[in-house]
Structure 1
Amino acid sequence: MAFTILVTLVIISGLGVGVYAYITLEKELTEKLESKKFIVPTEFYAAPPTFYAHSLIQISEVEKQLLRQNYRRRDYDQRILPGDYFIANREQCAARLQVGLNENQEACIGWVTLDTPTADVDSSLQILVVQKDRLISQIFKGAPFVEMTEAHAEAPLLAQYIGNEPLMQKTVTLGEVPPMCLNAIMAIEDAQFLEHGGVSIKGIFRALVKNIAAGRRAQGGSTITQQLVKNYFLTSERTLKRKFQEFVMSILLESRFSKDQILETYLNVIYMGQNGAFQVRGYGSAARYYFGKEIADLNLSECSLMAAIVNSPGLYNPFRKPENAERRRHLVLEKMQGLQFISKDEADAADRLPLPGEPRTQASETAPYYLDAVRKQLLSQNINPEGLKIYTALDLEAQDVAQISLRGHLDNLEKNNKYIKGLREKGNSLEGSVLVANNVTGLVSVVVGGRNYRMTQFNRAIDGHRQIGSIMKPFVYLTALLNQTPEGQPYTPITLLNDEKFNYKYEGQAWSPVNYGKQYFGQVPMFYALKNSLNAATAALGIAVGLGNVIDVTHTMGVTSELKSFPAMTLGAFEMYPKEVLQSYMTFANMGQKQKISFVRRALNSDGVEVFAHQINPEPTVDPAAVASLVGMMKQTVLSGTARSITLSGFQNPAAGKTGTTSDNKDAWFAGFTPYLTTVVWVGYDNNLPHRLTGSSGAVPVWTQFMKKIGTRFPADDFPWPENTKKVLLDQSTLESLNAFKENDPTEVELIFDAEKAPN
């Protein structure tokens, strides 16, 4: 009796486990197939291309960006649907807009973004009106048309990853796949696909007979459904338990979903080879990789080769093992002919066609330093990036320009600078970084962490902790502008400072700052000391206003690195991360409003739920009038100070900034900003070798080349000065009286004062 009860309990338990396993497997299958989440890659999207009124563009460049996103061109008078665009001349533009255009307005381009609901197309049409000089004179959005300040295109898919492996995957519908491609894959992999219920007993028996006859595993018996199950639900272990699960799940899959759903999913997730470090997944990306075509454009020969590759992408790679690929393609065509999918003549003609040639370039990761910054930001906020759709702030064109500007300058230095050339010959590679952010949003559009990611993955823009040198000086001057002199008078841009050699004793030590070139200027106004980066005057000022106060102001502006209260701190004898420089200088550009930087605009999980959204929420820090006075002084650095080569090179948009050179010439910096963008450049050696460069010669050229291309997208507006400030123009005689006029200096200088502290 006890034995009978025990057996009964075991059977009941087994049935219970089986039922539970069945329900669990059914739920997992249903969720994954219905949402097409057999592969859930991490997807990174770049920022949507943005076009601003009164910026410069070429319509052909805008069209190129739209075509990259597969937009369709239409006539100007047609209805523009999602994913359509048109280009029109002045008369056609005027007719479309129903407004008068002047003779200087030459053409326009309009589009409706791909993700626009059909019901909203009329109100979502965006039109750029462009002048003969390439200036966007007006932007409209309608209907009815309303004038706007900016227009946006689509956010392009930037990269896909499975774990740390980059992925090439383009999802296609079954309707996009040519019937001959469907027939080819079924002919070679599963001829009874349309007939069986998930498992082919006939196929298994046939494979078993062939394997016994061959004395080895010569043929597999798995159906397309089984391949889908074992590749995406089960481990690769070869056990009876796993094989049983595969059988059950395949039958379950076929009972719940149509053949079309199963085949479409299979064609989108099947592994199709490697393009460099990139996994090629699915027929959509494989067609592009192997043939440079869309899947819908493949011919019979190409379809049969795709089916050949499926079995073993490494063994039948047409670029690496062409003989194997041709032999397997022949087999596919033979099977198709045997199943009467094609005639003998069609098979022979397809078999004679050559294999595709090697792709001209291997896939490479786009903006890998930027994606590294994105991952690190999300992880620092306890958000696992795996499987997310991540909408970044990356500006693809700006990233490319920054990378080219940095690499070109470093190459030029290693070729033409005798000292650096010598270091290069000894195996030392000069490195650098570039960071760029939008002042209003805080979104970082560019991260260049080095000259070549394949050579070194160290992200200097994010993880490089380097001495900042004179990049520190604006914090000293801002602290002064917020305080009073020892005599009780307010500090202003024309307060006189002593630029003289001095010794400062503290904690049993003596410290004496030295000016660049060991030249001292006596009494000079604050703006002059800052624009010319005078060490003695700055150090004396920092000591006078209090080192602790300088540290407090520096942290308030956005610096997070530890600062120690010793006098050399006033000249930047400590380390910062470039992103701290970016954050704090962006606070300068915003007149003291601190907007937190972010590399990510928003992130969604696989269910479409938002897990992160960047907030534009600037917080006030210090008196805006004091920051405005500082920015007015920093403008002089660009106009006639240590960064005057920016103006001399032809960049005319209002800009402010500060060069940075460490005392041992190991680090060269320039942090500069316009009313719209803040850009930070660093140049140096990873092993801390001195390079004998200054901020002017090492970093400013990179900033200049980049901003001449990207900064000119924006209007040439001056900074939005706070209401309680006053512009003061100093003429030559006044400058001479202040000891602030030297040969080649401008004869007039415009400065910004707190209205209550301005000179009469």
Structure 2
Amino acid sequence: MKNLWKSIVASFKGINSWSDFATKSNLTIEVIRRIVLYIIAGIFVMLSLAIGLGLGYVSALTNQVAVPTKSEMSAQLKDVNNSASLYFANDKKVESLQKTLVGNRVPLSEMSPYLTKAVVATEDSDFYRHNGVEPKSLFRAVLSDVTGIGTQTGGSTLTQQTVKMQLLSSETTWKRKAVEIFLAMRVDKYFTKDEILEDYLNAATLGRNNKGQNIQGVQAAAKGIFGKDASDLNLAESAFIAGLPQSPSIYTPYDVKGRVKDDISLGMKRKNIVLYRMYRDNKISESEYNQAKKFNLKDDFIKPGKASTKKIKYGYVYNLLTEQTRTILIKRLAKNDGISYNELKKDKSLYQKYYTQADTELHDKNYRVDSTINKKLYTAMNEQAQGFKSNLGTSHTDTAQDPNTGKTIKVAEPVQNGSVLLDNKSGQVLAFVGGVNFKKSQLNHAFDTNRSPGSSIKPLITFAPAIENGVIGSQSMLADFKTKYNGYAPTDYGETIQNRFISARETLEESYNIPSVNLYNYLMKNGVSSKSYMEKMGIHLSDNEYKQLGITLGGTATGVTVLQQASAFSTFANKGEHVDPYVVDKITDPTGKVIYQHKHAKKRVFTKQTSYIIQNMLHGVVTKGTASALSYESNFSTKNMFGKTGTSNDYRDNWFIGSTDGITLASWIGYDNFYGKNHNLASNSTDINQELWSRMANAVYKDSPGIMNVHKKFNRPSGVQSYKVDKETGTRTGSIEYNGMTSKVSQHTTQSLYYKGNPKSMSYGNFAIGGKAKNYKLFWNNYFGRDNGYGVVKQLGKSSKSAKEIAAENGSGKTTGFSNSTNGDGSSEVITSGSSSTTTSRTFNNSTTTNGNAETGTGSSGGSGSSSGSGSSVGSGDETTTENGTGGTGSAGAGGESTQSGGTGSLGRE
């Protein structure tokens, strides 16, 4: 360009005549003209390229959008004044969600002509001329977004606004804008202008009414502001309502309590702007314009009123389904925007944005949510819980300080219950009990409170991993003597010590603590991690918690929910596979399209062999252990049932979880202990919770016996080996060296089940996990006749109760000598001299000793004072008028259940 200019200047310097000047001037003009043409062409090419790229970008954004049919669009455009409907299983309706907006749809013919003219003049004066979008307005909106200058709504036609309200979410991304344009043109193609205008006027949000409620549609606005129908609105009233959509919260005349605001000047100014635009567009005459401006609109505002409340019958179900569906929609919205749910949870403000979007969708659009909850079973279980709640324990009344107001108030603390009925094979939550009184506390104790699981965690975290890794068999011996681990001194229930070796089977049946701690300690020292198994079953604990020995007794920092515990326990009934539990089965959008369908997810946790052995061992809990009362409290056969009890420190929590082939039912009772209180259950809480469990199970069986499959046996799979072992040592029968003589030990035998490994050979020591030299010496001396206190229960704590009373309180010994077990491998079976007996008392009068080749009968009698025999050893009220009450928060760890390094507390005693 510089050289061209120099050439032009040099050319003019060489002019010698007017003819030369004219010639060279024409040449210069031609060059400049061509330069201008090239610039214009370049600009045109660049604009074309930009437009092409823009169209390509829009095409790419909308390429993944499913094109709705006319009927689908019609359904969504007319879907106003609706909300999500919640359903039980089998098409039984729970409730429709309470709307955040109130209103009624009316046809265009029932709206004041002033109103329709005012809206068009104000929101989209070219409404009847464009094809759904306005290019110049769109360009202005894009420029506004890029530069930040101007309003954000300048590019939206009435058609676009209708599409945004009815067909799209409220996000403000470029993708949503592109889809909005695409759908607006499609809507304009299929529907008349009057149909679109009618949809808009019925869908628009228009501030609050005189009851403080958010309103939707012009009919609700006319009724809620002026007390008349939309057809009867005068010009000034129509103009006022037509001005509301731009900023409803600012221009609305009422506050959240339905009172007229002190300052309504902004709404009045907006009304005058609407009137002017109507006059400018020749929609009204000058005299109409002036009269409407002078009209005293404030006198037309109706007086404050009181909003009616809606009674919700199934409050716990209502809240649960709302919460879980909202979460599903949040994940869906975030995924559509390329954001993972884990990333979203880290950003509170972003999460709140998606929370609001999902919540608005649920409360203002006609979704359908189908759940897994069986209405009959839910009603049956809750009726039993309601009928039995007065027996759960003392309801305490205290004074406390309200954290919100600071005032002193009276609070009631009843014993709460959380229960879950789970279908083992599918993971469906068939029914649950959320609490004893929804009206007073909306906290869902089945899903939302974390409590110490007590001993109910033992099979999951300790015994199943031990069997899976070949550490123990069902009759392997564990030490139950006074012990201490770096200052931590566990005891059994009631601060007792059994002072003997106990089989793994009996440890679970009677829920002894010291043997469990010894076994968990052994697993940790030998590199067996329980964490991997627990994670697969849906229970997530910290690495530090797994390092604490008290975790095997339920000593967690955060605790577990009833749902988590029931789901994890169902793994054994599922032959070692864990199925994720769920409540929401599917979600259908307003067009009838299923946007969410639960997908079953299974994980192999334990082998079927390990699961069978655990089932077999836990069957004894029900037949003659800590839950033996169920044998006569249940109205169905418990021959194929297994379960586990659990109690945390100071009777803070009590659990029972029972499984058949078909279902797992978990029940927890305890106090919430809000406001810093410290109430505990009664000492007979194990009995109480089991009676409640049996009542609920009986009700389920009466209504739907087929789902429980109580008659289906858990057949022993191949790979489970049964070994004859000595009942006293858990080893193979054989001989030992005792006082310089070889003694044959084979008097009492039983069967021990193994998945991996096999019983140890008979030896003097080292046959029991956690056993010490002095323990073995005490055992063998007693075995061969000395009355040395082996097996005599020791009480470390101060208690006025006898060992027998403590055993009965723990649920032990209630069916002494009785068992309805049909398992040949049951712990009640003892083989003595080739014959079978159902007693567990020790008699050694036929023992023999061997010294060289000479065999003589010793004639020694069994240890007197022993108490090792199992018979004597220690061992729907959710109706409410509130929508989404929050209640309180659950107590993590339930006060004092965390593991401690010192002391002699009996953590998770039972």
TM-score tier after normalising by the smaller chain length: 0.5 to 0.7
The match for 2:559 among 559, 576, 586 is: 576
The match for 1:671 among 622, 639, 657 is: 657
The match for 1:565 among 539, 542, 547 is: 547
Question: Within the alignment, does 1:43 sit opposite 2:27 as a pair?
Answer: no
Are the aligned partners of 2:385 and 2:436 in contact in 1 as well (CA < 8 Å)?
A: yes
Are the aligned partners of 2:394 and 2:415 in contact in 1 as well (CA < 8 Å)?
A: no
Are the aligned partners of 2:161 and 2:200 in contact in 1 as well (CA < 8 Å)?
A: no
In structure 2, relative to structure 1, the CA distance for the partners of 1:743 and 1:42 (3 Å cut) is closer
Shift of residue 623 of structure 1?
2.3
Shift of residue 555 of structure 1?
3.9
In structure 2, relative to structure 1, the CA distance for the partners of 1:753 and 1:36 (3 Å cut) is same
Cα distance in 1 for partners of 2:389, 2:209 equals: 33
Cα distance in 2 for partners of 1:599, 1:277 equals: 34
Q: Report 1:201-220 matches (<5 A).
A: none
In structure 2, relative to structure 1, the CA distance for the partners of 1:585 and 1:503 (3 Å cut) is same
Paired position in structure 2 for 1:585: 569
Question: Quick one: which amino acid aligns to residue 371 of structure 1?
Answer: T
The match for 1:34 among 54, 69, 74 is: 74
Paired position in structure 1 for 2:645: 659
Q: Report 1:135-146 matches (<5 A).
A: none
Cα distance in 1 for partners of 2:422, 2:476 equals: 33
Cα distance in 2 for partners of 1:674, 1:658 equals: 13
Shift of residue 662 of structure 1?
0.5
Kindly provide the CA deviation profile for residues 264-289 of structure 1, in whole angstroms up to 9, marking residues without a partner as x: 8589868999999998989999xxxx
Paired position in structure 2 for 1:642: 626
Kindly provide the CA deviation profile for residues 610-647 of structure 1, in whole angstroms up to 9, marking residues without a partner as x: 55432234332222122122123323333443334444
Question: Quick one: which amino acid aligns to residue 517 of structure 2?
Answer: A
Cα distance in 2 for partners of 1:28, 1:625 equals: 52
Q: Percent identity?
A: 16
Shift of residue 656 of structure 1?
2.5
Cα distance in 1 for partners of 2:447, 2:566 equals: 11
Paired position in structure 2 for 1:433: 418
The match for 2:602 among 601, 618, 622 is: 618
Are the aligned partners of 2:86 and 2:369 in contact in 1 as well (CA < 8 Å)?
A: yes
Question: Quick one: which amino acid aligns to residue 320 of structure 2?
Answer: Y
Secondary structure of 2:681's match? coil
Paired position in structure 1 for 2:13: none
Task: Choose 1 or 2 for highest CA Rg.
Answer: 2
The match for 1:718 among 711, 720, 738 is: 711
The match for 1:596 among 557, 580, 600 is: 580
The match for 1:392 among 371, 374, 385 is: 371
Kindly provide the CA deviation profile for residues 659-710 of structure 1, in whole angstroms up to 9, marking residues without a partner as x: 2211232222222223222233333324472413465256434433332223
Are the aligned partners of 2:536 and 2:603 in contact in 1 as well (CA < 8 Å)?
A: no
Are the aligned partners of 1:625 and 1:753 in contact in 2 as well (CA < 8 Å)?
A: no
In structure 2, relative to structure 1, the CA distance for the partners of 1:727 and 1:375 (3 Å cut) is farther
Kindly provide the CA deviation profile for residues 511-552 of structure 1, in whole angstroms up to 9, marking residues without a partner as x: 232323636374544333323222233333433454753624
Secondary structure of 1:467's match? coil
Cα distance in 1 for partners of 2:374, 2:452 equals: 28
Paired position in structure 2 for 1:442: 427
Paired position in structure 1 for 2:39: none
In structure 2, relative to structure 1, the CA distance for the partners of 1:614 and 1:247 (3 Å cut) is closer
Q: Report 1:477-492 matches (<5 A).
A: 477-484=463-470, 491-492=473-474
Kindly provide the CA deviation profile for residues 476-506 of structure 1, in whole angstroms up to 9, marking residues without a partner as x: 2323433556xxxx512x44544x441133x
Shift of residue 469 of structure 1?
0.9
Paired position in structure 2 for 1:58: none
Question: RMSD across aligned C-alpha pairs, in angstroms?
Answer: 6.3
Cα distance in 2 for partners of 1:699, 1:278 equals: 45
Q: Which has the higher contact order (CA 8 A, sep 6+)?
A: 2
Tell which deviates more after alignment, 609-618 or 570-579.
609-618
Tell which deviates more after alignment, 544-553 or 675-684.
544-553
Shift of residue 404 of structure 1?
4.6
Question: Quick one: which amino acid aligns to residue 516 of structure 1?
Answer: G
Secondary structure of 1:375's match? helix
Secondary structure of 1:514's match? coil
Cα distance in 1 for partners of 2:442, 2:478 equals: 45
Question: Quick one: which amino acid aligns to residue 664 of structure 1?
Answer: D
Secondary structure of 2:643's match? strand
Are the aligned partners of 1:276 and 1:362 in contact in 2 as well (CA < 8 Å)?
A: no
Paired position in structure 1 for 2:112: 190
The match for 1:630 among 602, 605, 614 is: 614
Paired position in structure 2 for 1:257: 191
Unaligned runs of 5+ in 1: 3-8, 21-26, 50-153, 173-180, 194-198, 209-221, 230-238, 286-303, 322-357
Paired position in structure 2 for 1:159: 96
Secondary structure of 1:442's match? coil
Cα distance in 1 for partners of 2:586, 2:625 equals: 40
In structure 2, relative to structure 1, the CA distance for the partners of 1:690 and 1:478 (3 Å cut) is farther
Secondary structure of 1:372's match? helix
The match for 1:362 among 299, 311, 331 is: 311
In structure 2, relative to structure 1, the CA distance for the partners of 1:277 and 1:615 (3 Å cut) is farther
Paired position in structure 2 for 1:704: 694
Are the aligned partners of 2:456 and 2:646 in contact in 1 as well (CA < 8 Å)?
A: yes
Question: Quick one: which amino acid aligns to residue 450 of structure 2?
Answer: H
The match for 1:472 among 454, 457, 460 is: 457
TM superposition score normalised by structure 2: 0.46
Secondary structure of 1:367's match? helix
Cα distance in 2 for partners of 1:377, 1:602 equals: 10
In structure 2, relative to structure 1, the CA distance for the partners of 1:452 and 1:724 (3 Å cut) is same
Shift of residue 587 of structure 1?
0.8
Cα distance in 2 for partners of 1:653, 1:158 equals: 37
In structure 2, relative to structure 1, the CA distance for the partners of 1:308 and 1:369 (3 Å cut) is farther
Are the aligned partners of 2:624 and 2:814 in contact in 1 as well (CA < 8 Å)?
A: no
Shift of residue 29 of structure 1?
14
Cα distance in 2 for partners of 1:160, 1:599 equals: 17
Kindly provide the CA deviation profile for residues 161-217 of structure 1, in whole angstroms up to 9, marking residues without a partner as x: 7xxx567999x9xxxxxxxx97xx945x33799xxxxx458x999xx9xxxxxxxxx
In structure 2, relative to structure 1, the CA distance for the partners of 1:29 and 1:569 (3 Å cut) is closer
In structure 2, relative to structure 1, the CA distance for the partners of 1:617 and 1:451 (3 Å cut) is same
In structure 2, relative to structure 1, the CA distance for the partners of 1:284 and 1:431 (3 Å cut) is farther
Are the aligned partners of 1:399 and 1:447 in contact in 2 as well (CA < 8 Å)?
A: yes
In structure 2, relative to structure 1, the CA distance for the partners of 1:743 and 1:658 (3 Å cut) is closer
Are the aligned partners of 2:372 and 2:428 in contact in 1 as well (CA < 8 Å)?
A: yes
Shift of residue 554 of structure 1?
3.6
In structure 2, relative to structure 1, the CA distance for the partners of 1:423 and 1:628 (3 Å cut) is farther
Cα distance in 2 for partners of 1:397, 1:307 equals: 47
Cα distance in 1 for partners of 2:433, 2:71 equals: 40
Are the aligned partners of 1:369 and 1:448 in contact in 2 as well (CA < 8 Å)?
A: no
Cα distance in 2 for partners of 1:444, 1:628 equals: 24
Are the aligned partners of 1:515 and 1:536 in contact in 2 as well (CA < 8 Å)?
A: no
- Which one has a larger percent strand, Structure 1 or Structure 2? 1
Q: Report 1:260-299 matches (<5 A).
A: none
Are the aligned partners of 1:369 and 1:447 in contact in 2 as well (CA < 8 Å)?
A: no
Q: Report 1:178-577 matches (<5 A).
A: 186=109, 189-190=111-112, 199-200=116-117, 257=191, 362-363=311-312, 366-376=317-327, 379=330, 382=340, 386=358, 387=361, 389-406=368-385, 408-413=387-392, 417=394, 420=396, 427-446=412-431, 448-452=433-437, 455-475=440-460, 476-484=462-470, 491-492=473-474, 494-498=475-479, 500-505=480-485, 508-516=486-494, 518=496, 520=498, 522-546=500-524, 549=528, 551-552=530-531, 553-562=533-542, 563-574=545-556, 575-577=558-560
Tell which deviates more after alignment, 431-440 or 578-587.
431-440
Paired position in structure 2 for 1:141: none
Are the aligned partners of 1:635 and 1:656 in contact in 2 as well (CA < 8 Å)?
A: yes
Number of paired residues?
Answer: 544
Cα distance in 2 for partners of 1:722, 1:616 equals: 25
